[in-house]
Structure 1
Amino acid sequence: MAEPGRARGRVGTLPAGPRPGVAAAGGRALPVPLPGRLGDLVHAAGARIAGWAAEEVAPGRLFPWLPVGVAAGVILYFAAETEPAPWAAAAAVAGALGLVIATRRRGAVFAAIGLAAVAAGFCTATLRGRLVDAPVLRQPAFGAKLAGFVEKREEREKSDRIVLRVLSYEAPRGGAVVAGARPERVRVAVRKGTAPPVGAHVALTARLSPPLAPLRPGGYDFSRDLYFHGIGASGFALGAVRPQPAPVAPDPGLRAAAAIDDFREAIDERIRAALPGDAGAIASALITGKRDAISTPVNEAMYVSSLAHVLSISGYHMAVVAGVVFVVLRAGLALVPGLALRRPVKKWAAGAALAAAAFYLVLSGAEVATQRAFVMTAIVLAGVMLDRRALTQRTLAVAALAVMLLTPEAVVHPSFQMSFAATLALVAVYERGLPWFAARPRSALAARLALWGAREIVALVIASLVAGVATTIFAAYHFHRLAPYGVLANLAAMPVVSGFVMPLGLLALALLPFGFDGPLWRLMGTGIDWMTAVAQWVAALPGAVGRVPAFGVDALLVATAGLIVLALLRTPLRWSGAGLLVIAALLAGAAEKPDVLIAPGGEAVAVRGADGRLTVLRTGSLAFAARDWLAGDGDARPADASEVAAGFACDPAGCVARLADGTAVAVARSAESFADDCARAALIVALRDPPAGCRATVIDRAMLKETGAVALRRTGDGFAVTRARAPGTDRPWSPASPAASRPAAPAAGPSGRPAPAPDATPAIEDIDPD
């Protein structure tokens, strides 16, 4: 029988030695101020936690944490106020690797490896930023003359859009081009039906603006997104888009893009000829990735019902395509006994599925999200061909590392965050949470239920719940809304999409060259009609839109850490992640709403009135700000509703609105308004230079050029100001305000009269300000 106090081989029992609660010093025992029983409990808990921690760092357990460290380094890169020097980032990697070598035989090696992963992510993002090096337009250009190759075109519901690789740029008359700020690519909206084909060389006159900066502090940075796509300005065409002979031959990449776009366009036309309306637009979105022709009501219903993931080609579509090809080919080869018994038909099927996924990647336009989905699918299929488990945390970690190596900027994009969060949660649940799911039925009833598809139904419900919960925080942060009935919509629609719509689409695509595709597209449309009906029914349910006010990035980071801890840890230590999620929820709930919001250029101003809701005044053409602010406020009112602007009282000199405490906020449109505003208002948004000595807080356009969008909160007699741009910020996509430059002399216009072409100027209300 073991002696009292001796270890008995169980986890958490006490080791031999001094009794807990007593510390030895100088050969004698010194009592520790803990009661004996409490000291025993504390010591046992410490031993238990130490055992769990040792289990978590066992060999092979830390690899899934590497992409977490790399992602942290990428986030640090985007948090910097000025662009890091590549040599400094490379030196950090070298130093971290040296630390790993120095500590390789010590316990600190784990921390050193984590530090090296962070440094590698920071360096990768830094090098990626330097490789992109896309000049950004610094100031609006009203009537810039452009010529170049069309690299991309998109069909929208009300207008079309093209991306132009600029070969020549002529500044508008009286305008100036800041040195190094002539964009190499621009994105231009044109009248619907007038977009030229990819690969065409065209000339046009356009109204261009710098890429859209965040519309509120903490808001999404569209300019950063466009920068990493190589786009330095956006706007809309004025007049005709004129085809011209190319001064140089297009490069092979552009010719390949033109051929692929022609192929996609031909398939799109074939689908929509057989299947008109939203059903055809959705079918084309599933096959070719062209999803912008879907009408706004259907698009909105898909988002509200949490079925919008069907419209954007991602991991689900890649999995369905690869899975259908794999299952069909493997089943067909298994019918030939000579092959099935002597040849690795499973590996052959995986290879064919990989080829089909690669074809689907090219056909769908190879967007960044689709590239990410292909990488993950390719790794899973490669695991099948190498006799490895298809989907584990290791394969997911490899996929994440591959994506971050190619496009580190994806880390701050919602599609990356939501797709990997959902996949990580699903893998964790199916690896550790549902061991019974793969077990054989132990009773006749269980076997009968499995035969009837009960397992598949349960799997779909669990997958919808897990994926929905895992992506909740990201949907709330980026889109300010939740889908309470998402599980219901996915349960009703996804079996039809997976088992009927997508297989029919693939079969129709295979039969298209033979001319037998039409009936299949129409049959596919019946399944799409069902999905659309489910989306609209769910969207019409009471409380279908769960609106969430905007909150800070601190809550998002804490929630992400909680999800990672829950998914990656295997011992009971993982439940500390639930505590992090609770903290994140408290941080999100404690976020304070601003009393005043001002757009980056002063084009829109919002004031919170006595009713607690925002009233928005547009002083320029930026209609998108009202939509973004209302969504971030958790306000369901449409941005164009008359009541949204009803809180402002306006005259030719300016406008005035009042805060909840009666304080006046003035928007000064003319110099004459300052006399009254400086005397009566506490805050003035000045579209002109204010006079000296104005006692009110004044925010003018010169200040907004430095701060970007501004949020103000009333504090006593003053305002607490939050800026979208920190002082001294100078990033490639958000450069510091340039010094005044001498206007460039207007260049001579082209000689000769251009060939007649239809007017491509879109209506202002048809332009997506994104």
Structure 2
Amino acid sequence: MYVAPHRDRPFAIALDRVERWLEAERERIALWVPVALGIGIIAWYSLPDPARWAAWAGGCAILALAFLALPRGGRLRMMLVTGALLAAAGCVLIWGKALVWGEKPLARPVFIEVRGEVLSVEPQPAMERTRITVAPDPALGLPARIRVNVPEKDWRAEMGRGALLSFRARLMPPAPPAVPGAYDFAERAYFLGLGATGRALAPIEVLRPASQREGTMRLRLADHVRSRLEGGEGAIAAALATGDRGAISEEDADAMRRSGLAHLLSISGLHVSALIGAVVMLVYRLLALSPRLALGLPLMLIAASAGAVAGIGYTLLTGAEVPTIRSCIAALLVLGGLALGREPISLRLVAAGALVVLIFWPDALMGPSFQMSFAAVAVLIALAEAPWFRRLTGARDEGWGMKAGRALLALFLTGVAIELALMPIALHHFHQAGILGSLANLIAIPLTTFVVMPAEALALLADVVGLGAPFWWITGKALALLLLVAHRVADHPLATWALPVASGVPFALMMLGGLWLLIWRTRVRLVGLVPLCAGAAVLLTMPAPDVVVTGDGRHMAVRFADGRIALLRDGAGDYVRGIIGAAAGEGGGKEAGAAMGALSRAPEARCSRDMCAVRIAGSRRDWMILATHSDMTVPWQALVDACARADIVVSDRRLPPACSPRWLKLDRARLRQTGGVALYLEQESWSGVRRPGDRHPWVAP
């Protein structure tokens, strides 16, 4: 038992106040367990090498020992000791998974004849290809698993899972971020067990065809759905039923992202909970029709068990991806609470689900899927617990018009709250966030939950006896309306708000401040506004980079004083334009990419067939940038003189030591060390993709 210390010392008085506060918050302390574990995981990602990882774990253990000096029986002592140990455990946990589970990437690009067994198949009709994962022959010296794309024209049914294939391929190590802030596929591939990616070249020889049972239920179901609905409606219907998004066109996918409706395309809490809820209600109502069963059996327990079986089956059917598993775990916890007669929806449920995911998939913490899903659910529950929200939207005895109005108001307020909660996450990962998403979700979520998914489920059931056509018609019309809403919202000028790439510090401050606000209940929670507002202020005042260079040195974007952005190579594709636009704070959409002009046509630049020299006006001085854009040999003396006149030199080739600009040389040799680079000329600073001394296992030495 905690004994209050003497009140004649300032430290004792402060400690007594903290203990009284923690006593009032005693039910919320356990919610910090996954947060402390997550801090340890983040530390492993943030620190560069094993020596510092070990130092973090050891330092946390030492802190735990130091916190034991606090008075016995106090909640503060227990909280700090446990938190320090959990922070150490998080670092060790992700470090251990990286050592045991990950796949070392291919050392360098190779052109090789591959012979191996197909492990999985992922059709991508929208891209006119099929993606397969192959286990190559160990004698080839390749990673244990590689992923290659097979063009649609070369694909044959006998090349499915279990087939033994032989084909030529140019394999590449999984790509790191092309520019700072871009998607890190190398890290993701490492934990997926993929060591190389590439494209299979014809002819592809089938040494052993796939078994007759190769076609999984998921693929067959997706093909069946697309055969009943054509176009974008069929592609989205297949995604809702199976999680297979390969047939969704880039235009529809981009519209769903920009309108804030992309969460509907991934099997997540909405889909799993809708299915489980429907099964529980159906089983419960059917069993309650019998007075004997209603009086003699625990109907809720039986219905909850049926819902659990349906949820697990749906998770397995849709590929058992981590977001789906996470949603299924949360739904099972809710069912357990219902079956036991406990309050099923609470932040304890969210914390328990997060803890389970972090223990088994600690790498999921760094992805936007984990962060967005748990943030959205936590905000929903915290909002539902707020007294003012209950007073405003709670059911009461009144006319149907007022009830409908309160329901719409509740849906709108929750949409706004979720948009605000997800905005920092979207800005950190994608450098843009939706503004009109709450309005779009006001239509899309009820439409999907109460029309699309029930109609599609009935259509699939009716197809067993050949009577699904009417339900497919309803599903198609509802999905057409969903796509219409997505495209109309996405085309609005206020659909998205973009910011340039920023460090992880403001994001971390905003997340910690948000967690502090959500978890605590007393007035102390308002302290969370300090880091939240500080992080937002830093994020909003981050300058946009003046120059962005990709890691291969082939592409460079320059921002002029009037805001125009010009590309070194006008033929850069949509992908390059998208990642550069996102890093520069212009958004990653096609509109931003199309607005980028060619550097050769800019009045500030002088370009030959081999090189471009561009002058950027600054507030304190002008900057001269020299960039190569061909493979032609430049005369030695001309190159040396041009480098001497330039402040920055960019090239996709290795430049000689005699090429010495006044500030920075970013040639092939330097970019291999730094990766893609963002330059801030006013601050005379730059940031690169790679950190000095980074020894995470997916980083090539």
**Which whole-Å CA distance do the structure 2 matches of 1:642 and 1:220 have between them?**
21
Aligned position for 2:3:
none
Q: Deviations over 1:123-142 (max 9, x none)?
A: 21111111213020122224
Matching of residue 565 in structure 1 with residue 516 in structure 2: yes
Shifted more, 200-209 versus 554-563: the winner is: 200-209
Contiguous gaps of at least 5 residues in structure 1: 1-15, 25-42, 172-176, 737-770
Shift of 1:447: 5.5
**Which whole-Å CA distance do the structure 1 matches of 2:536 and 2:61 have between them?**
38
**Equivalent position SS for 2:204:** strand
Matching of residue 606 in structure 1 with residue 557 in structure 2: yes
Aligned position for 2:617:
660
**Which whole-Å CA distance do the structure 2 matches of 1:608 and 1:368 have between them?**
39
Aligned position for 1:238:
201
- Number of aligned residues: 673
Q: Deviations over 1:658-680 (max 9, x none)?
A: 22344221123434251342232
Matched-pair contact (CA < 8 Å) for 1:666–1:683: yes
Aligned position for 1:688:
653
Shift of 1:88: 7.8
**Equivalent position SS for 1:244:** strand
**Equivalent position SS for 2:617:** coil
Q: Give, as a single letter, the amino acid of the residue that structure 2 aligns with 1:667.
A: A
Shift of 1:634: 2.6
**Which whole-Å CA distance do the structure 2 matches of 1:185 and 1:683 have between them?**
41
Matching of residue 192 in structure 1 with residue 152 in structure 2: yes
Aligned position for 2:182:
219
Matched-pair contact (CA < 8 Å) for 1:163–1:185: no
Q: Give, as a single letter, the amino acid of the residue that structure 1 aligns with 2:189.
A: L
Shift of 1:561: 0.8
Q: Deviations over 1:94-126 (max 9, x none)?
A: 777777888663542221111011112112111
Shifted more, 604-613 versus 614-623: the winner is: 614-623
**Which whole-Å CA distance do the structure 2 matches of 1:490 and 1:17 have between them?**
55
Label 1:50 to 1:265 Cα distance change in 2 as closer, same or farther (>3 A): closer
Aligned position for 1:312:
266
Matched-pair contact (CA < 8 Å) for 2:651–2:668: yes
Aligned position for 2:528:
577
Aligned position for 1:553:
504
**Which whole-Å CA distance do the structure 2 matches of 1:270 and 1:350 have between them?**
30
Label 1:56 to 1:81 Cα distance change in 2 as closer, same or farther (>3 A): farther
**Which whole-Å CA distance do the structure 2 matches of 1:513 and 1:168 have between them?**
43
**Equivalent position SS for 2:625:** strand
Determine what percentage of the aligned residue pairs are the same residue: 30
Q: Give, as a single letter, the amino acid of the residue that structure 2 aligns with 1:505.
A: E
Label 1:431 to 1:495 Cα distance change in 2 as closer, same or farther (>3 A): same
**Which whole-Å CA distance do the structure 1 matches of 2:462 and 2:174 have between them?**
43
Shift of 1:642: 6.4
Shift of 1:68: 0.4
Shift of 1:565: 0.9
Matched-pair contact (CA < 8 Å) for 2:625–2:646: yes
Q: Give, as a single letter, the amino acid of the residue that structure 2 aligns with 1:136.
A: P
Which structure is higher in helix share? Answer: 2
Q: Give, as a single letter, the amino acid of the residue that structure 1 aligns with 2:640.
A: A
Structure having the higher Rg:
1
Label 1:523 to 1:123 Cα distance change in 2 as closer, same or farther (>3 A): same
Shift of 1:90: 7.8
**Equivalent position SS for 2:391:** coil
Aligned position for 2:692:
727
Aligned position for 2:87:
118
**Which whole-Å CA distance do the structure 2 matches of 1:663 and 1:17 have between them?**
64
Shift of 1:534: 1.5
Q: Deviations over 1:472-496 (max 9, x none)?
A: 1111121222222212111122212
Matched-pair contact (CA < 8 Å) for 1:52–1:573: no
Matched-pair contact (CA < 8 Å) for 2:611–2:627: yes
Aligned position for 2:132:
163
Shift of 1:85: 9.6
- Return the match for 2:37 from 70, 86, 111: 70
**Which whole-Å CA distance do the structure 2 matches of 1:723 and 1:54 have between them?**
43
Matching of residue 424 in structure 1 with residue 378 in structure 2: yes
**Which whole-Å CA distance do the structure 1 matches of 2:693 and 2:496 have between them?**
40
* TM-score normalised by L of structure 1: 0.81
Matched-pair contact (CA < 8 Å) for 2:280–2:307: yes
Shift of 1:189: 2.0
Shifted more, 476-485 versus 284-293: the winner is: 476-485
Q: Deviations over 1:1-40 (max 9, x none)?
A: xxxxxxxxxxxxxxx999xxxx99xxxxxxxxxxxxxxxx
Aligned position for 2:359:
405
Contiguous gaps of at least 5 residues in structure 2: 1-5
**Which whole-Å CA distance do the structure 2 matches of 1:17 and 1:291 have between them?**
64
**Which whole-Å CA distance do the structure 2 matches of 1:271 and 1:193 have between them?**
22
Q: How large is the RMSD of aligned CA atoms in angstroms?
A: 3.1
Shift of 1:215: 2.2
**Which whole-Å CA distance do the structure 1 matches of 2:529 and 2:213 have between them?**
51
Aligned position for 1:677:
642
Aligned position for 1:54:
22
1:493-512 alignment to 2 at 5 Å? 493-512=444-463
Shift of 1:695: 3.6
Label 1:482 to 1:686 Cα distance change in 2 as closer, same or farther (>3 A): closer
Q: Give, as a single letter, the amino acid of the residue that structure 2 aligns with 1:127.
A: G
**Which whole-Å CA distance do the structure 2 matches of 1:431 and 1:268 have between them?**
39
**Which whole-Å CA distance do the structure 2 matches of 1:47 and 1:135 have between them?**
49
Aligned position for 1:382:
336
1:33-182 alignment to 2 at 5 Å? 50=18, 53-58=21-26, 60-83=27-50, 105-106=73-74, 107-143=76-112, 145-168=114-137, 182=142
